[in-house]
Amino acid sequence: MSPALPPAPAAALPAPAPGAEVVLTVDNISKSFGDNHVLKDFSLTLHRGENVVVLGKSGSGKSVLIKCIIGLLTPDAGTIAVLGQPVATLGHAALDQLRAKVGFLFQSNALYDSMTVRENLLFPLRRHWLADHKGQEDKLVHEALDDVGLPQTIDQLPAELSGGQRKRIALARTLIVPPEIILYDEPTTGLDPVTAREIDQLIRHVQQKYHASALIISHDMNCVRLTSDRVILLAEGRSYAEGTYAELLASTDPIVHAFFE
Ligand SMILES: Nc1ncnc2c1ncn2[C@@H]1O[C@H](COP(=O)(O)OP(=O)(O)OP(=O)(O)O)[C@@H](O)[C@H]1O
């Protein structure tokens, strides 16, 4: 049995103080594919230590947004700055350095099937931190597994784990090189409700322990409620509405309201 996860608050944290450090700025970006204008002047800011959920229906452009943030797609207009650095102007080496500070939890988890949990966790460590952390690998692997409550899985293969366990191992792999920003792509999709709530709890735990900022893409309303300090509704290609979960819940706008029915 997995050890109990650390307790985490269910409620949103207080809003960031005015002037809190901004770690991610998406400024009026547009992205089209032919006649399909997916993002139209979309903007957001993420502060240090804050969890922001981008909520949007299927096909609204959430994945396109994430791909623009990590530099896999280039916006047609507008700018994106991650930790103060404008993504579009960075060369390969600078982008690689920046990516070491940004953890990405893929919807598919993206674990290597032929590698054990230990080997999966060592992978980013060897890629980004080889010189600095030689000799500490084992300790760091154990710490990351303790963080997600799965120390006993260290020698197992991903195929031997449940969907929820694989998600937690993928998160441990993201945490092993401590990120300043974590991007969560649909973190609870495909999980049963109980396991999904464990992942929500873990997202809050990670926020508190690492004081990392998180941008969470989701349309699971329980995940939105439990993990967000602030919610941005992506509709019609733009930031259609923004506020705490409770503020959006109270909205009478039909497009906002439709998410809470
Ligand atoms: N590389 C691409 N080439 C052409 N069109 C694309 C490309 N990537 C995304 N699109 C289009 O952009 C739109 C938004 O797609 P996106 O995957 O961002 O939606 P989403 O909000 O993440 O949806 P879901 O919740 O279903 O994952 C869709 O109409 C999609 O077909």
CATH at residue 157: 3.40.50.300
Separation of CA 208 and ligand 1 centre (Å)? 32
Which pLDDT belongs to residue 177? 86
Residue 42 lies in a domain: no
List, for the chain, all residue ranges whose pLDDT scores fall below the cut of 70.
1-19, 128-133
Quick one: pLDDT at residue 4?
44
Q: Does ligand 1 come within 6 angstroms of the Cβ of 49?
A: no
Nearest-atom index, ligand 1, CA of 107: 27
How much is the pLDDT for 99? 83
Question: For the chain, how many structural domains are there in total?
Answer: 1
Domain span at residue 130 reads 49-60+97-260
135 within a domain of the structure (yes/no): yes
Spatial distance between the Cα atoms of 161 and 172, rounded to a whole number of angstroms: 14
> Atom 27 of ligand 1 has which residue's CA nearest to it?
58
Give the per-residue pLDDT at 92.
85
202 located within any domain:
yes
**Is 77 part of any domain?**
no
pLDDT given at position 16: 57
Is the reported ipTM for this assembly greater than 0.85? yes
Residue 105 lies in a domain: yes
As a whole number of angstroms, the distance between CA 180 and CA 192 comes to 29
Determine contact, residues 204/147, Cβ cutoff 8 Å: no
Ligand 1 contact via 36 beta carbon (within 6 Å): yes
Classify residue 205: in a domain, yes or no: yes
d(CA 190, CA 235): 23
Question: H or E element: which one contains 85?
Answer: strand 85-86
CA 18 to each of CA 8, 114, 181, 191: distance values in angstroms, whole numbers, following the listed order: 25, 48, 20, 37
In a domain, 16, yes or no: no
What is the CA(219)–ligand 1 centre distance, in A? 15
For ligand 1, is residue 31 a contact (CB within 6 Å)? no
- Whether 38 maps to a domain, the answer reads no
